[in-house]
């Protein structure tokens, strides 16, 4: 029983990650996914705050103000960030999406279910509007009451912009016979991948930028767009004001394996793969470091509250069976340092969110959501420790002084 409790407890020592705006609009962009909150980074100082029970259908957790929004079954529970107690609940007509992330925009939760989009007022957890589209297949992003996402309609993929203020009526849509990716944006340009093309929405038109291979994930840095591709490459391009590819800006870096969604900051790009965790110089498109022991690493996430850190999880085998480990990469100008943070029972298809406070919420393979935070040092305990150290130091000085005096008394007189 003790071993089981230890394993479950260790599993909770999980995840740290993402963006300068913790309640970002859901776009896969550096300005919205790099988190400045002080998340846990040392396994000696991790506090396990609470966890939910396992669930058959659990979606992607979100952080909102002082709450955790947990999609589960056919509802979303609004939980207290601090103790995990249920504050309010909203129910839907079908089960939530397990893999597609919702988002928060202007106190409105936009939550994908398997085939529909729901807009929920977060003040009273009431449904504002909802609409059935098709099989939702991307994360959802939103800005100024406009929602962006992709779905499957039969054998056709569609990426659309819908208006929350008008019952989620479609504003524009893009049709493709190839899979579409989750949305990103740079300089207010909405973009997504569709087959071998990076699609950029400019004014009332679409610009198709051919990158030469199938795009699986799109990440928008401050000055360039990075794409992981089905052929195991990371590709980059810069865009002109009209949304077209800047001349001679398309670059590539061969990584290998099935690549995760990339994440990065200031041209430091992190990508998980079946071959390991890759750190790439996005300026020159060169691998600066690869951790080959982190094969099948999960999609990395970046925080800057305790230095620039990228977090990922990877599976390993140990005497007690297969386990996942959470890792943290401290990235500095002097180099990168990898450290293990925790053992995890199973983080296959795991999902993560982080609050402004730095508290982390992660969903594991069992459908449980765990909350962890950086253990704060008690001021009173610190004062007590300082007083004890001073007392011990003074005691040692007194002992040495007494010993020296006694030795001097025993010393024979000099003639």
Same domain, 411 and 322: no
- Amino acid 22: pLDDT: 43
Distance from C-alpha of 259 to C-alpha of 271, rounded to nearest angstrom: 7
pLDDT band per the 50, 70, 90 thresholds, residue 72: very high
**Higher-confidence residue: 400 or 97?**
97
pLDDT at 28 over 90: yes
* Same-domain status, 258 and 128: yes
Mean per-residue pLDDT over the chain, rounded: 88
Categorize the per-residue pLDDT at 18 as very low, low, confident or very high, splitting at 50, 70 and 90: very low
Statement to judge: residues 72 and 96 lie in one domain: yes
pLDDT number for residue 381:
54
Residues 388, 298, single domain; the answer is no
Same domain, 385 and 270: no
Q: What's the pLDDT band for 343 if we cut at 50, 70, 90?
A: confident
CB atoms within 10 A of CB 93: 12
pLDDT at 115 over 90: yes
Lowest mean pLDDT among 56-60, 343-347, 404-408: 404-408
The tens digit of pLDDT for each residue in 223-236 reads 999 999 999 999 99
**Residue with the larger pLDDT of the pair 7 and 263:** 263
355 lies in which domain range? Answer: 2-376
Looking only at the bridges linking them, the beta strands covering 67-72 and 75-80 are: antiparallel
Residues 332 and 410 in one domain: no
Task: Give the residue with greater pLDDT, 166 vs 389.
Answer: 166
Q: Is it the case that residue 410 has pLDDT exceeding 80?
A: no
Model pLDDT for residues 148-164, shown as the tens digit of each residue? 999 999 999 999 999 99
- Per-residue pLDDT at 200 exceeds 50: yes
* pLDDT over 50 at 17, yes or no: no
CA–CA gap between residue 371 and residue 79 (Å, rounded): 11
- The tally of domains found in the chain comes to 2
Looking at the structure, tell me whether residues 406 and 365 fall in a common domain.
no
Q: Are 135 and 114 in contact (CB under 8 A)?
A: yes
pLDDT > 70: percent of the chain: 88
Q: Does residue 74 or residue 8 have the better pLDDT?
A: 74
Expressed in angstroms, the distance from the first to the final Cα of the chain is 76
pLDDT of 256 > 90? The answer is yes
Q: What whole-number percentage of the chain has pLDDT above 90?
A: 64
- CATH number, residue 115: 2.130.10.10
What pLDDT was estimated at residue 386? 72
> Is the domain of 361 the same as that of 386?
no
| Prediction pTM value | 0.84
261 and 407 assigned to the same domain: no
Report pLDDT for 35: 85
Q: Are residues 277 and 356 in the same domain?
A: yes
Q: Looking at the structure, tell me whether residues 370 and 405 fall in a common domain.
A: no
Instruction: Indicate if 287 and 140 belong to the same structural domain.
Output: yes
């Amino acid at each position: 029983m003790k071993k089981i409790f230890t394993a479950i407890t260790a599993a909770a020592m999980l995840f740290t990650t993402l963006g300068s705006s913790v309640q970002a609009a859901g776009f896969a962009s550096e300005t919205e996914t790099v988190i400045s909150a002080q998340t846990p980074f040392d396994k000696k100082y991790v506090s396990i705050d609470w966890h939910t029970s396992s669930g058959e259908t659990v979606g992607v957790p979100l952080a909102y103000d002082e709450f955790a929004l947990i999609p589960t079954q056919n509802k979303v529970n609004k939980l207290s960030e601090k103790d995990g107690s249920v504050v309010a609940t909203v129910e839907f007509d079908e089960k939530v999406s397990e893999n597609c992330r919702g988002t928060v925009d202007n106190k409105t939760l936009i939550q994908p279910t398997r085939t529909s989009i729901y807009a929920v007022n977060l003040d009273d957890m009431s449904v504002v509007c909802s609409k059935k589209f098709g099989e939702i297949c991307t994360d959802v992003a939103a800005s100024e009451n406009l929602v962006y996402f992709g779905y499957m309609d039969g054998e056709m993929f569609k990426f659309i912009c819908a208006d929350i203020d008008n019952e989620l009526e479609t504003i524009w849509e893009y049709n493709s016979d190839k899979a579409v990716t989750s949305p990103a944006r740079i300089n207010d340009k909405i973009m997504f991948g569709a087959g071998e093309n990076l699609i950029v929405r400019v004014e009332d038109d679409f610009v198709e930028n051919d990158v030469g291979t199938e795009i699986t994930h799109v990440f928008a840095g401050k000055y360039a767009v990075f794409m992981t591709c089905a052929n195991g490459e990371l590709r980059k391009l810069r865009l002109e004001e009209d949304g077209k590819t800047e001349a001679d800006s398309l670059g590539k870096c061969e990584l290998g394996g099935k690549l995760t969604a990339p994440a990065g900051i200031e041209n430091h790009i992190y990508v998980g793969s079946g071959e390991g965790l890759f750190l790439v110089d996005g300026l020159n498109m060169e691998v600066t470091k690869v951790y080959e022991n982190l094969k099948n690493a999960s999609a990395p996430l970046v925080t800057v509250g305790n230095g620039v850190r990228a977090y990922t999880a990877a599976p390993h085998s140990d005497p007690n069976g297969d386990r996942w480990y959470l890792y943290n990469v401290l990235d500095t100008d002097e180099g990168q340092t990898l450290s293990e943070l925790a053992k995890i029972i199973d983080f296959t298809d795991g999902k993560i969110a982080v609050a402004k406070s730095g508290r982390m919420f992660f969903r594991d393979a069992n459908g449980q959501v765990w909350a962890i935070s950086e253990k704060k040092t008690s001021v009173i305990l610190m004062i007590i420790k300082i007083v004890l150290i001073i007392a011990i130091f003074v005691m040692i000085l007194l002992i040495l002084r007494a010993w020296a005096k006694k030795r001097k008394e025993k010393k024979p007189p000099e003639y």
